[in-house]
Amino acid sequence: MTTDAVTRLDSASEAPRNVGIGLILRRLLRDPVAVFSLIVLTLLLIALLAAGQVAPYDPLRQNLRLRNLPPGTPPVEEGGFPHILGTDELGRDVLSRLIHGARVSLAVGLGSALLSGTAGTALGILAGYYGGRLDDLIMRLVDLQMSFPFLLLALLVLYALGPGFLNVILVLALVRWMVYARVARGLTLAMRSSPFIDAARVTGNSDLRIIRRHLLPNLASPLVILFTLEIAALILGEAALSYLGFGVQKPEPSWGLMIEAGKSYVSTAWWLTTFPGLAIFLTALSLNLLAASLRAISDPVQRERWLNAGLRERP
C-alpha cells in the first residue's frame, strides 16, 4: 500500500472523530436554508412565549374608524406604533393578531404533537416488541383509522365534542397518533432481534428496562424528525378547522380564523388573507426544512455528506 493511500485511510478514520457540535453549528450557519428556517422558528418561539410584550396593540381591541387600513398606515394616536400590516374589518391591528395567532397555532401544534407522539410511540413499541395478537389489534386499529380522511374524521369528532381550543388539541392528537405508531412499530421490529437486545435480555433485563434503556434511545432520532414534521401538519390542520368554524372560536386570534374573516374582502383588502396565509406557509416550510437538517445531522452517512458539502476545509 502506498503512502498516499495510507494517508487517505488515516484521514477517513479520523473524520468521524472530528465531527462535533461546533462543526455542525458552523455548517448550519453557512447554509442559508437552515438559517432562514431557524430565524422564522425563533421569531415564532418569541411570539409563543412573549406575545403580549411584543405585539404593538391589543389583538381584540376594535375601532371601526380604522377598519381595513392598508399596510404601512401611520398611527392615529401620537406616539403610537404604525399599522405595519394594516388593520382588519373591525379596525384591529393585523400584526398584533398575527403574533397572538402564532401563539394559538404553535400551542395547538406542539400540544397535539406531544399527545399523539406519546400515545402512538408507546402503542407502536408495544406492537413491535411483543407482536402476536397485541400487534394485530393495534395495527388493525391503525389501518381502520388511516382509512378515514384526516380532516373529515377531525370534523366528525369536533361536531360531537364541540369546537374550542382544548378540544382541537385532543381531536388532532386523536386523529394523528397512528402515524407515530406505524413508524415506532417498524423501527422496533427491525431492532427487536438485534444482538444488543438479545444481550440485554440474556443478562436478565426486564422488558420495561430494555424498552426504556435500549430501544427508546435508538428510536429517538427518527421520532424527533417525525415530531417536527407533524407539528407542521397539525398547524395546517388547526388552520383548516378554524377556517371551517370547528376550531378556535372568535374573537380569539387564529391564522385560520383570520383567513376566514378576510375572505369577503379579498378584492378590497388583500392583506387580510395574504399575511395569515403567508405565516402558515412560512411556518410549515421552516419546520420541514428543519426536519431535513435534523435528518442529515442524525444519520452518520448523510451527516458526512452534509458536512462535506458545506465545509470544504475542517479545522
Summarize pLDDT for 239-296 with one digit per residue, the tens.
988 888 888 888 888 898 899 888 888 888 899 999 999 999 999 999 988 888 887 7
The model's pTM: 0.82
Q: Is 201 exposed, middle or buried (0-12, 13-18, 19+ CB in 10 A)?
A: middle
How many helical (H) and strand (E) elements, i.e. helices and strands, does the chain have? 13, 0
Highest mean pLDDT pick, 147-151, 159-163, 174-178, 200-204: 174-178
Give residue-wise pLDDT tens across range 66-85: 888 899 888 877 667 888 99
**Is residue 234's pLDDT more than 80?**
yes
Tell me what the pLDDT averaged over the chain comes to: 83
**Is residue 16's pLDDT more than 80?**
no
Of 17-21, 214-218, 288-292, minimum mean pLDDT range: 17-21
Q: Please give the helix or strand (H or E) that residue 210 lies within, else none.
A: helix 207-210
- Rounded CA-CA distance 212/148 in Å is 33
Highest mean pLDDT pick, 78-92, 108-122, 294-308: 108-122
Q: How confident is the model at residue 12 (pLDDT cuts 50, 70, 90)?
A: very low
CB 112 within 8 A of CB 169: yes
Q: How far is CA 282 from CA 102, 148, 289, in A?
A: 12, 28, 10
**Is residue 2's pLDDT more than 60?**
no
